[in-house]
């Protein structure tokens, strides 16, 4: 094997992302120099934040440059090493992007144990999505036992962890997800107390029925009508961890219908980006790893086969077609 495949950003989307925003390239595997390692990526993580990077609108992160490898988290195996800290066969988590191969000096690589926990989990429940859930739940929502926590995108990589952490804490966990199959999974496999199918056409009424004591905490991944419905159920002093706004992923405004509720219910809304809290990652990942290893934290994956499938899988993710953490298997 002397070449590998990668996907670059070919053009910025005008509205919906389309396959021709991406370009698959075949390139030479480089020789590694002193201190470097060569990694064969096994899994690529696809995440909603990538949509933001594809635009050049002002955001918290610089836009993804055109004609360069799409950004993304990866887990893979060291296949050559000139770095004493890494041996061939080590599993490492990195940000090698939409690429079968990565080269690094090791500084930003995290060595993981691929035996107790499956390597792909380090891109989900024991990775950035899990940490997003852990940080938002523990450091923003600060939910107490008996409180009601509402989680949108409840079957997704982040939401599924939020609800399970809420249950472990003794809260009532209520999910919002799209479709009966996802809702069944949220309740019967993940153990949420209830799940509302926003596609069933009675979001507000169904959410009211599922939250008889109101809502004390919201973990928001969607925005728009889903967020409005959850806000309408809040109790006094509710907290909102604002994690994502996938409802407006094409850059359109996402109105919050009734901002007065934030005042009348004395709500605190906090937007956050988990990579700005790296000091807490060791603690969080250790707790999440323990929960996965002992079977207390369930997760589900949607796996696309081969890097060439990544654009379609990503477009599906933005439309909620995935079911669980969206990955691309590259080996």
Output the 3-class SS for 64-96: CCCCCECCCCEEEEEEEECCCCCCCCCEEEECC
Interface pick for a copy of itself out of 200, 209, 256, 331 (rule CB under 8 A): 256
Interface pick for a copy of itself out of 199, 266, 296, 321 (rule CB under 8 A): 266
Interface of this chain with a copy of itself, residues 22 to 41, rule: CB under 8 A: none
Q: Which is nearer to a copy of itself, 88 or 256 (CB)?
A: 256
Contacts of 297 (CB under 8 A, 6+ apart): 125, 130, 161, 164, 288, 291
In the bound complex, what is the minimum distance in angstroms from residue 51's beta carbon to a copy of itself?
A: 12
Q: How far apart are CA 254 and CA 103, in angstroms?
A: 39
Stretch that binds a copy of itself, among 2-10, 16-24, 110-118, 256-264 (CB under 8 A): 256-264
Hey, what are 269's tokens?
A: 């809304």
Question: CA dist 47 to 9, 118, 120, 164, Å?
Answer: 15, 19, 14, 20
Stretch that binds a copy of itself, among 69-77, 270-278, 305-313, 317-325 (CB under 8 A): 270-278
| Under rule CB under 8 A, residue 248 binds a copy of itself | yes
Q: Which is nearer to a copy of itself, 99 or 221 (CB)?
A: 221
Question: CA dist 156 to 102, 160, 259, 299, Å?
Answer: 27, 6, 27, 9
In the bound complex, what is the minimum distance in angstroms from residue 195's beta carbon to a copy of itself?
A: 23
Do strands 91-94 and 74-81 pair parallel, antiparallel, or not at all (unpaired)? Answer: antiparallel
Stretch that binds a copy of itself, among 62-70, 74-82, 262-270, 288-296 (CB under 8 A): 262-270
Pick from 119, 74, 120, 54: which is nearest to 311 by CA? Answer: 54
Interface of this chain with a copy of itself, residues 274 to 303, rule: CB under 8 A: 276
Interface pick for a copy of itself out of 48, 124, 223, 311 (rule CB under 8 A): 223
Q: Which is nearer to a copy of itself, 226 or 310 (CB)?
A: 226
Q: Which is nearer to a copy of itself, 30 or 255 (CB)?
A: 255
Q: Which is nearer to a copy of itself, 134 or 299 (CB)?
A: 134
| Under rule CB under 8 A, residue 227 binds a copy of itself | yes
Rg (CA), the chain: 20
Please, what is the angle between helix 281-293 and helix 159-169, to 10°? 80
| Under rule CB under 8 A, residue 52 binds a copy of itself | yes
| Under rule CB under 8 A, residue 258 binds a copy of itself | yes
Q: Which is nearer to a copy of itself, 129 or 289 (CB)?
A: 129
Return left, alpha or beta for 154; rule: phi > 0 is left, psi -120 to 50 is alpha, else beta. Answer: alpha
Pick from 176, 177, 154: which is nearest to 165 by CA? Answer: 154
In the bound complex, what is the minimum distance in angstroms from residue 8's beta carbon to a copy of itself?
A: 24
Q: How far apart are CA 206 and CA 197, in angstroms?
A: 8
Interaction pattern, residues 228-247, with a copy of itself; x per rule: CB under 8 A: --------x-----xxxx--
- 29 touches 1 (CB < 8 A): yes
Q: How far apart are CA 27 and CA 47, in angstroms?
A: 25
Q: Rule CB under 8 A: which residues touch a copy of itself?
A: 52, 58-60, 223, 227, 236, 242-245, 248, 253-260, 262-273, 276
């Amino acid at each position: 094997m002397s070449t590998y495949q990668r996907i670059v950003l070919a053009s910025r989307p005008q509205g919906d992302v389309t396959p021709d925003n991406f370009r698959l390239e075949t390139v030479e595997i480089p020789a590694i120099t002193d201190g470097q390692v060569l990694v064969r990526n096994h899994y690529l993580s696809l995440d909603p934040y990538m949509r933001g990077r594809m635009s050049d609108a002002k955001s918290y992160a610089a836009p993804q440059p055109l004609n360069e490898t799409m950004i993304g988290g990866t887990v893979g195996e060291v296949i050559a090493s000139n770095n004493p800290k890494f041996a061939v066969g080590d599993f490492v988590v990195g940000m090698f992007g939409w690429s079968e191969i990565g080269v690094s000096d090791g500084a930003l690589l995290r060595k993981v144990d691929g035996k107790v926990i499956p390597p792909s989990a380090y891109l989900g429940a024991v990775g950035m999505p899990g940490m997003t859930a852990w940080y938002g739940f523990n450091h923003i929502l600060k939910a107490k036992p008996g409180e009601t926590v509402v989680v949108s995108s409840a079957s997704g990589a982040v939401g599924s962890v939020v609800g399970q952490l809420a249950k472990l804490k003794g809260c009532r966990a209520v999910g919002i997800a799209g479709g009966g199959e996802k809702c069944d999974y949220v309740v019967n496999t993940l153990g949420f107390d209830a799940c509302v199918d926003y596609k069933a056409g009675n979001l507000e009424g169904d959410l009211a029925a599922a939250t008889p004591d109101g809502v004390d905490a919201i973990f928001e991944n969607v925005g728009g009508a889903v967020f409005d419905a959850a806000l309408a159920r809040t109790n006094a002093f509710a907290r909102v961890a604002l994690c994502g706004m996938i409802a407006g992923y094409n850059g359109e405004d996402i109105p919050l219908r009734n901002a007065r509720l934030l005042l009348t219910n004395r709500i605190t809304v906090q937007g956050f980006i988990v990579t700005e809290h790296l000091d807490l990652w060791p603690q969080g990942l250790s707790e999440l790893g323990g929960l996965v290893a002992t079977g207390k934290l369930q997760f589900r994956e949607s796996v696309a086969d081969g890097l060439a499938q990544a654009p379609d899988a990503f477009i599906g993710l933005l439309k909620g077609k995935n079911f669980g953490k969206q990955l691309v298997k590259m080996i």
